[in-house]
Structure 1
Amino acid sequence: MAADLLELDDLLCLREFLRVSNDRSGREASLDQQHEVLVADGQRDRFRLHPEPYREVGSASKYAKKARKDFDRLVKDLETGQFGAGGLALWELSRGSRKVKEWAHMIELLEEQGLLVWIHTHRRMYDPRIARDRRTLLEEAIDAEIESHKTSERLMRDVASRAAEGKAAGRLSWGYTRRHDEETGKLIGRVVIPEIAKLVNELFGRVVRGEAISGIEKLWARRGIVNGVGKPFTHAQLVEVLRNRTYIAERVHLPGKQGRWWYHRDEVRITKGDWPPILKGKKGRKLFFAAQTILDDPSRQKVRPGGSRHLQTMFTLCDECVGPMVVSGKRPSKAMKNVVRPGKGTAGGIRNEDGEGRAPIYRCKNKGCVTINKDDLEKFTIEVVLAYLSSPKVYEDLVRLDGEGGQELESLREKLDVLRQEHRDLIQSRKARRITLAAFESLEPDLVNEIETCEKEIRRLETPPVLRGLIEPGVDVRERWEQIDDPVRRRAIVQVVLTPERAGQLRVLKSPGPGKRWPVESRVVLHQAPAA
């Protein structure tokens, strides 16, 4: 027994690097299987294995995003002399890396320290100090990287082909499940889960009616509605659901890159999918694109927990510098313009231009040009908004848009989809050099102008979704306003109404003079858009 232990200690000690990709096909040898094979190699070819192998799960491709902690630890141990063995044992060379740069550095480290490399698939030991062995190891690294390139190109072609045919790909969207043939078990396609489909329709409907996503997040959490992994939806996840074109049976493909389609509108390719939609028919598409309009609105305020919920911050403007107004509960600083010292008999401190002390105010965010009492301004603003929404003409226009204008709006949206696809195709044709630069420059400006004209017309015709629920027949607007207890929704309504195209953009003027709380009517102006 002692002789056996002595003989074992005399054997060359190799330290394993075991790696397996996240391969659902089942063809990859598992980490334990690789270890067992290397143990057998050691018994046959007279080497022993270090008791602490490096173990890694993940891709070694140059396209991999995930950090390779154990590979990095292996390199660091070699660089610092903490490797603790006479060589490296691998299942195959590509188990370590598919990047020539990484392996070239590895070979240099092994050579410097006189360490060997055992590769199971070759059934032999390599010595990087020998020119022929070093050449073989480098050639294997080059072959592994080229194979990685080929695999990537093949996958990209397959994905593009499936996308062009409208085939489903990737993870199942919330609300769908896979359907298999009962006899053969073969995948037939994706089908809708009716209970969840109702929730998807509810979400789109609530957002289009003007409800805040943050409010829906809390409501669904109270109702126990959970996502695909059994947890309550976050705000970001609800936005992902609202952006998901799967629900209108559309396949989205971004050639050669990963990302969200709404960040790459000029590059994304959209085709009709081969699965049933959850948002059905023209009504469903109208609902989907109405939600996109809300999400795309550049003036949309994304309120974070603990963030500003004041009625008019950032979109009510200072008339002096046209900067945004913000709420402040503190006295203005001495450096602010239009600030005067208190007169004799005051309680001390600095007053704002309306003679206010610590009362909450709106003030110019840029330079402090103007300030105005917060409560007075908001009361005035609410009256302006309600007067606008109570107007019979406004109501008639919105009804017309929901009725006669609805078909025109739908046609314009379809036209815009076609124009955007033509623009994407034109860009791709230029990138692939299928058309000359001169031809591109002659075609592209007119196409962009047509897209912008179409978008402008859609904005003109669209019924503001947050207004639609406020002016239903037979219900007083003021009463409906009082029933809204969500400050975010109230803010959204005010923000939609107070635009140059509607009631007017509200701007705050300098007060006529100091030391007095001047009426709001003398302090504000509504800027209207020029008549078309």
Structure 2
Amino acid sequence: MTRKRNVYANKMALMAAGARVIALIYARASQDNKKQEKSVGDQLDLGKGEAKQNRWTVGKVFYDNNISASKYARGKKRPDYELLLEAIESGEGDVLILFELARSNRDLMIYVNLRELCIRVGLYFWLIGGQLYDLRVRADLMSLGFQAVQAEDQSVATHENVKRGKAGSALRGLPAGKLNYGYTRVYDGETGAFVKQIPDVEIREAVSDDGKVSKYTRAGIIRFVFESLDEGKSIHSIEKSIFDRGIRSRKGNRIGRAVIRKWALNPVYIGKRVHLTETVGAGQWDGLVSDELYWSVNVLLNDVKRTKTRPGSGKYLASWIGKCAEDGSPISVTPPSEHSYKEHVYRCYRKNCWTIPMVELDSFILSTVIAWCSRPDIEELLTAAYTANDEALSEARAEAKRIESEWESWMKDATAQRLKPSVVARFEAQFEMDLQAARDRASELSLPSVLRDSIGPDAERKIMSADIEVKRELIRLLGPFEVTRALRKDNVPLTDRVNWLGLLGSEFSDDGPKL
């Protein structure tokens, strides 16, 4: 129900009205671990004391605790502040009591909106820090406006100091933010100050659903993820392996595929400090994996041939890797059933314009891959092809190191000179583009470990004994391939129906394969 607000001609009339004046009190405090600010309780007590001193009746009390009013914290809602606005809009209150203007906002836009609302609905009086203001008086508006500007300026200064402090910590290689899985931090027992970050090698026990107990360390889980990916295993199979052992996150949740991929692409695990999503230098902690292993996995996960998402569990050799040459749709597997096929078949997923028994296509693909990887000259030719790029690869890696070093040096100068964040951001964008280009070039020139470990005279043994995920990864690297439509009665051999488009489809010259 809307209340008809009392209208007082001036401050004296308000002060003379006594108990007829209804006061609204609002208090707010940000998270304050150092106890340097007035708590919400203290602010409310002061507000009620001022209302009692002026013989006003306290109407409603509103407060938001541990919530910032800065414009840099827009994602955090202030529920009681919204209720305060609703109360003012509905006609409640004759005077608004605040400990200081910054309690209500540190954003000029929010201040202006509150001021205009109060003027529009007739709540003209604010009591701030014991000082009474009338929104109809020019001098009072000027004083409030100045306080609002100061509050926002303080917020901006704090924000910039925090950013500068984080940048400085990053350049010194200090860890910051959320603790990465696989590490633990040591703090001083007396002061609580950070001492160092070390691998988390505490032995823990996990219990699977069937009651089997296994021991593990969080640092070991990170190494397991990198080593499994380097062997060609899928992220899905790694997730399942961790879950089946009963291993969970720190909060007891399932460790999902997105988390595993994030781990595998995080330079933190080779001892690098990341700031604003970019590597800025060496961290003051040891890596959990080698640089070679990290970059090998990085190349695999960023390979454009690698399918990021696909239906099914990847338990069939060629499903969702090959494509139909007629319409470009992926090939899928249909299991046998009473009303369809007598055996597993591969088929065009979209139009079902052809089918091939799975045993036949799998046998053909594996024999083709094994024959290619077993060629007496394949190791020499591939080595020659990639060795020919050794100089370019070294140059690309050196270029990435140079850009990282330049950025680190530039950030030190920027921190010392206290450059504006906008200036830093402008240069940072260019550094990031140049660095990513150098890294992409190095990835293109690196021989994938799955391919390196599959070639040679014993390629058949290596490939046939490999897990399905490794075989699929190898086919992705050597493919992709297309299957053309043909009638079964025509007996068109698979050699004429399967067209390899990747390495298996390349021709060899005297200079090596055209990669």
TM range (shorter): 0.7 to 0.9
**Counterpart residue identity of residue 453, structure 2:** R
* 1:468-491 Cα deviation digits (max 9, x unpaired): 37989798236414xx3x5x5543
The yes-or-no answer on 1:297 pairing with 2:303 is yes
* TM-score (ref. length: structure 1): 0.72
Residue matched to 1:205: 227
Question: What's the CA shift for 1:507?
Answer: 2.4
Does the C-alpha gap of structure 1 residues 493 and 514 become closer, same or farther in structure 2, counting only changes over 3 Å?
closer
Residue matched to 2:484: 509
Distance 2:301 2:181 in 1: 20
Residue matched to 2:477: 496
Distance 2:99 2:455 in 1: 68
Does the C-alpha gap of structure 1 residues 237 and 447 become closer, same or farther in structure 2, counting only changes over 3 Å?
closer
State the secondary structure of the residue aligned to 2:445.
helix
Q: 2:150 aligns with which of 143, 151, 165?
A: 143
The yes-or-no answer on 1:463 pairing with 2:449 is yes
State the secondary structure of the residue aligned to 2:73.
coil
Question: What's the CA shift for 1:448?
Answer: 9.4
**Counterpart residue identity of residue 495, structure 2:** E
* 1:220-276 Cα deviation digits (max 9, x unpaired): 12222222323231222222222222222211123xxxxxx3xxxxxx342111223
Structure 2 regions of 5+ residues with no counterpart?
A: 1-15, 203-217, 415-421, 508-512
Residue matched to 1:177: 184
User: CA RMSD of the aligned region, Å?
Assistant: 4.6
Residue matched to 2:69: 60
Does the C-alpha gap of structure 1 residues 87 and 309 become closer, same or farther in structure 2, counting only changes over 3 Å?
farther
Question: What's the CA shift for 1:278?
Answer: 2.5
Structure 1 regions of 5+ residues with no counterpart?
A: 1-6, 255-260, 262-267, 331-350, 499-504
Residue matched to 1:87: 95
Residue matched to 1:325: 330
For the 8 Å contact 2:126–2:134, the answer to whether it is kept is no
Residue matched to 2:115: 107
Question: What's the CA shift for 1:29?
Answer: 2.9
Q: Percent identity?
A: 23
For the 8 Å contact 2:325–2:484, the answer to whether it is kept is yes
For the 8 Å contact 1:398–1:463, the answer to whether it is kept is no
Q: 2:54 aligns with which of 45, 50, 73?
A: 45
For the 8 Å contact 2:197–2:285, the answer to whether it is kept is yes
Question: What's the CA shift for 1:24?
Answer: 3.1
Q: 2:404 aligns with which of 406, 421, 424?
A: 421
Residue matched to 1:272: 282
For the 8 Å contact 1:319–1:507, the answer to whether it is kept is yes
Residue matched to 2:267: 245
Aligned residue pairs, count: 460
State the secondary structure of the residue aligned to 1:53.
strand
* 1:351-393 Cα deviation digits (max 9, x unpaired): 9xxxx9998553385xx69634262434422332333344455
Question: What's the CA shift for 1:104?
Answer: 0.8
For the 8 Å contact 2:281–2:404, the answer to whether it is kept is no
**Counterpart residue identity of residue 494, structure 1:** I
* 1:60-105 Cα deviation digits (max 9, x unpaired): 21121424242662475157x3363223222221122211112111
State the secondary structure of the residue aligned to 2:174.
coil
Distance 1:525 1:474 in 2: 22
* 1:463-521 Cα deviation digits (max 9, x unpaired): 337x737989798236414xx3x5x55432321232xxxxxx4222343x686564323
For the 8 Å contact 1:99–1:145, the answer to whether it is kept is yes
For the 8 Å contact 2:296–2:449, the answer to whether it is kept is no
Distance 1:298 1:478 in 2: 23
Does the C-alpha gap of structure 1 residues 381 and 451 become closer, same or farther in structure 2, counting only changes over 3 Å?
same
For the 8 Å contact 2:171–2:408, the answer to whether it is kept is no
State the secondary structure of the residue aligned to 2:158.
helix
Does the C-alpha gap of structure 1 residues 392 and 172 become closer, same or farther in structure 2, counting only changes over 3 Å?
same
